[in-house]
Amino acid sequence: MSSLQSFFALIPLQLPDLRISDDAAPPQCCGLSCNLPLPPSPPTWRFGGHFLPRRKPFLIVAGWINEYGPVITIRSRFEKIVYIGRYKAAVDIMECQGKLVAGRPPMISAGISSGGMGFANAPSGNRLYRMRRTLHSYLRSKAAKAYQPLQMSHAKNIVVGILDDPYNFQRHVVTYAATTIMKVAYGKNTHTSRAVQRHDAYLVDSIPWLKYLPWYGRDLKLRFERSKKLHTSEVNRVKEQMHNNEDIGPSFTKYMLENSHIYGFTETEIAFLAGSFLKAGSQTTSNTMCTVLMAAACFPEEQAKVQAELDAVIGWHRAPTFADQKSLPRLQAFISEALRWRPLVPDGLAHQTIKDKTYCIPAGTTVYGNVWSICRDPDVFPEPDAFKPQRWIDGQSSLRDDIKLFVFGFGRRVCPGQHVASRSVFITALLVLWAFKLTLDPTKPLEDMGFMGESMPDIRPCEFEFEKRIPETELRRMMQDYPEVA
């Protein structure tokens, strides 16, 4: 194709025809000249660039995507930011060419507060590659499956918690997520109540030379010292337990200490890697669990279909376990639809291109996969605003495996904890929906986007009412005798 032909081929969307495939081969566009303009931009006359509100910016971006095409560019002061808002474009740019979009835009303040040890903000390169490989090999391994009995037992505690104190349902879910992640990270049975520190915007991210002022960022440096102390003390505790031959069960930290010769991380690096679990994996999991249960209360007909499946497969004389998972496509479809309906991170997390081959997006550009819009792509999800779990089920009544749910992010930065998290969401939804019929308290306000976001909302987005589906004494007995193997 001549460069002129390729130019005309790109004019309508400035994208070639995109393919959906798992094939890692780069799409045709790779060889095209990057002298072409960036993807289209909604007009703006503001000096500061396009205006995005602090609350729910994804809704504004979704409007632009509908109007200007699947990939758009917006301006924030002097920086160009690319948003991807359709499924095919996300597959092609973020997945097939994932290596080229694996960076993160530098955030100086986060670098200082993590002493350069942070994971989620780590730039693309050898260190990130080693960290991700390590986490993947642990969190996707058989070792991580060993947490299933624990996840079951914690989900059982939610059921008992609802029986004892239904009003504090949200607290039971938060406790589930916090205790599970402490166990995975450190093998600890109790959870230390640690507020996840939000990372606000700092002036140094707009005016980088501030970092050279010796007095600047004292609070950020202090934050680093505090986290280091906290994470290191957890690692030292595990080391001591190992030294004393205590039976502490599996944990990521134990695994890393035992295999440090393979991975070659320092102890401080191990401490921060394990610490990243708590930061990234606790409130994300609890909010997602709440979203699924909120969907059940908001769509009673769909909840009833799931419960019909549970009654047929499990009945009321035994409690469900992970062993039932394969026989419950309707429940799994319901969960996928709930996550599509209200994705946890609707704006996506910022990636950054590391080479300027990706379409016409130059190296160094910040790129967001706008999960909200991608989940509402009408070509892939017809009637995108309708809640239809059926869309995840094929003609053979099995779960479809040809559509990807991007709620765990994209390509080389996809969430390494997604398998552990998905199992948590599944087992809680299974036990709670088997035991109770959920309805919304009509006297309390409903904010159905309230559980979106990576921290637990301060104000309850809704109030649930739980109606027991099984006589209470039976239910309590089954929970008491709940199996300890998955």
Annotated binding site for heme: 415
Backbone angles phi, psi at 485, to 5 degrees: -120, 150
Question: Of the two residues 329 and 416, which places its CB atom closer to ligand HEM in the complex?
Answer: 416
Residue 461 binding ligand HEM, by CB under 6 A: no
Decide: is 280 part of the binding site for ligand HEM (CB under 6 A).
yes
- What residue has token string 């507020």? 195
Identity of the residue, 310 or 452, whose beta carbon is nearer to ligand HEM in the bound complex: 452
Tell me how far, at minimum, the Cβ of 155 lies from ligand HEM, in Å.
14
Among 14, 124, 134, 276, binds ligand HEM (CB under 6 A): 276
Scanning 3-11, 17-25, 279-287, 466-474 for contacts with ligand HEM by CB under 6 A, the matching segment is 279-287
Choice between 27 and 409, CB closer to ligand HEM: 409
Question: How far is Cα of residue 252 from the mean position of the Cα atoms in its chain?
Answer: 19
Residue 122, SS3 per DSSP: coil
Among 64, 83, 119, 451, binds ligand HEM (CB under 6 A): 119
What is each CA distance from 171 to 94, 165, 217, 342, in whole angstroms?
Answer: 36, 10, 35, 21
- Under rule CB under 6 A, which residues in 147-206 are in contact with ligand HEM? 184
Residue of the chain from 349, 393, 399, 470 that contacts ligand HEM (CB under 6 A): 349
| Under rule CB under 6 A, residue 277 binds ligand HEM | yes
Q: Are 371 and 86 in contact (CB under 8 A)?
A: no
Judged by CB under 6 A, the residue of 295, 345, 360, 452 near ligand HEM is 345
- 58 sits near ligand HEM (criterion: CB under 6 A): no
Chain-centre distance for alpha carbon 430: 20
Site string for ligand HEM, 383-412 (x = CB under 6 A): ------------------------xxxx--
Strands (E) in 260-352, as ranges, are: 351-352
Burial 304-340, CB ≥16 within 10 A → b, else e: ebbbebbeeebeeeebbbbebbeebbbbbbbbbbbbb
Interface pick for ligand HEM out of 285, 303, 352, 365 (rule CB under 6 A): 285
| Residue positions forming the annotated binding site | 415
Please say which residue, 177 or 319, places its beta carbon nearer to ligand HEM: 177
Length of the chain: 486
Q: Which residues pair with 248 in a beta bridge?
A: none
Determine if 110 is a binding residue for ligand HEM (CB under 6 A).
no
Among 357, 110, 326, CA closest to 221: 110
Indicate whether 344 belongs to the interface with ligand HEM (CB under 6 A): yes
Contact 356, 367 (CB under 8 A): no
- In angstroms, what is the minimal distance from the CB of 99 to ligand HEM? 13
The end-to-end CA distance of the chain, in Å, is 56
Q: How many residues bind ligand HEM (CB under 6 A)?
A: 27
Side-chain-facing half-sphere of 359: CA atoms under 13 Å: 33
CA 211 to chain centre: 31
Nearest residue (CB) to ligand HEM, 271 versus 280: 280
Q: Using CB under 6 A, which of 39, 103, 281, 329 touches ligand HEM?
A: 281
18 CB-contact burial (10 Å; exposed 0-12 / middle 13-18 / buried 19+)? buried
User: Does 85 help bind ligand HEM (rule: CB under 6 A)?
Assistant: no
Nearest-approach distance from CB 75 to ligand HEM, in angstroms? 22
Longest dimension (CA), the chain: 76
Closer to ligand HEM by CB, 140 or 239: give it. 140
Residue 160 contacts by C-beta under 8 Å, 6 or more apart in sequence?
A: 476, 479
Residues near ligand HEM, by CB under 6 A: 119-120, 132, 139, 184, 276-277, 280-281, 284-285, 288, 344-345, 349, 407-410, 413-417, 420-421, 425
